[in-house]
């Protein structure tokens, strides 16, 4: 899927690749507190990243947030959680309206997370990895004083390598399993998923977080998939070699993050299950939403302080 590549940058008019610093022909918008609204959905793992990073960095009073409901149709995510089904800041019923306000003939996916320019009510970008990257770098002057450094200089190269493997084989890998159009495609995605899950299990048996003793964006990106694994991906997407709860290091790691302020409170298991089991009619034509698993285990002691 192609995303709107625009960025919100500290230096207005700067046009650079968010990662490599290479000059690009990408429209940029100026960092201005109060100007932009993050539209997200608790059901979506990609949007969940943005919710977590915004909270960890203390940007709640700088970038407002609107939440779409967990069930959408072919047109768009809807603001059906708000009174009257209308976002109170944008005045929209659907996120689609922000995209069409800027691009009347927009034909790509209407996705969350998206940043919307409040004065014009036009979408700015829905490029999800760049959104959270720029929250860390371009909005740094507005971080709370004790905000974590989610992109530490001393491990950034290794972190990028880890995140790329996690994205390809886990974040996106569960979807490639779930939406595989052939047995061969499913088998390949399944094998890659579990090879990387085993690699993560071994890595996290020796360190508390992916990059050592501190939380980075790499952890945020893995967490949002792990939080949905047993509730959705294990059965709904046929990722069923093991449950997360059967992976000692990964399960302890996931609980450790869940119990860290800024993570667990962003997770709504009911919304997550409703989204996948209702929206994916081709995979679950009955629309029946499972009752389990019991989320109580997420609060159990994890013991990872020893690492």
CA 122 to chain centre: 22
Q: Distance between terminal CA atoms of the chain? A: 39
Residue 113: other Cβ atoms inside 10 A: 25
Q: Is 199 annotated as a binding residue?
A: no
Sheet of strand 114-117: strand arrangement: 64-67, 36-40, 114-117, 122-125
CB-based contacts of 131, cutoff 8 Å, min separation 6: 38, 50, 113, 115, 125
Residue 116: strand, helix, or coil:
strand
Residue 161 burial (CB < 10 Å; 0-12/13-18/19+)?
exposed
Integer Cα distance of 123 and 62 in angstroms: 17
Residues serving a catalytic function are 44, 175
H or E stretch including 8? strand 7-9
Q: 101: which DSSP letter?
A: H
Task: Cite the annotated binding site by residue number.
Answer: 77
Task: Cite the annotated binding site for glutathione by residue number.
Answer: 77
């Amino acid at each position: 899927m192609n995303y709107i590549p625009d960025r919100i940058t500290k230096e207005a008019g700067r046009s650079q690749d968010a990662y490599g610093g290479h000059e690009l022909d990408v429209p940029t918008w100026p960092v201005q507190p109060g100007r932009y609204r993050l539209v997200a959905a608790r059901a979506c793992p990609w949007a969940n990243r943005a919710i977590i990073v915004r909270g960890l960095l203390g940007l709640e009073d700088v970038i407002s947030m609107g939440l779409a409901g967990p069930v959408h149709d072919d047109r768009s995510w809807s603001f059906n959680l708000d009174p009257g089904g209308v976002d109170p800041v944008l005045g929209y019923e659907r996120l689609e309206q922000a995209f069409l306000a800027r691009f009347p003939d927009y034909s790509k996916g209407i996705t969350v997370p998206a940043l919307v320019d409040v004065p014009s009510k036009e979408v700015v970008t829905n490029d999800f990895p760049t959104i959270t990257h720029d929250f860390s770098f371009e909005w740094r002057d507005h971080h709370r004083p004790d905000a974590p450094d989610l992109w530490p200089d001393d491990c950034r190269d290794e972190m990028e390598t880890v995140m790329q493997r996690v994205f390809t084989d886990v974040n996106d890998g569960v979807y490639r399993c779930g939406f595989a159009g052939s047995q061969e495609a499913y088998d390949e995605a399944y094998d890659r998923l579990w090879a990387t899950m085993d690699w993560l299990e071994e890595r996290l048996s020796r360190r508390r977080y992916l990059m050592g003793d501190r939380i980075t964006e790499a952890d945020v990106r893995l967490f949002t998939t792990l939080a949905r694994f047993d509730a959705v991906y294990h059965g709904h997407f046929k990722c069923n070699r093991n449950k997360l709860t059967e992976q000692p290091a990964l399960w302890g790691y996931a609980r450790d993050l869940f119990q860290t302020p800024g993570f667990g409170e962003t997770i709504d298991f009911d919304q997550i299950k409703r989204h996948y089991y209702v929206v994916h009619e081709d995979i679950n034509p009955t629309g029946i939403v499972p009752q389990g698993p019991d989320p109580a285990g997420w609060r159990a002691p994890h013991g990872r302080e020893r690492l």
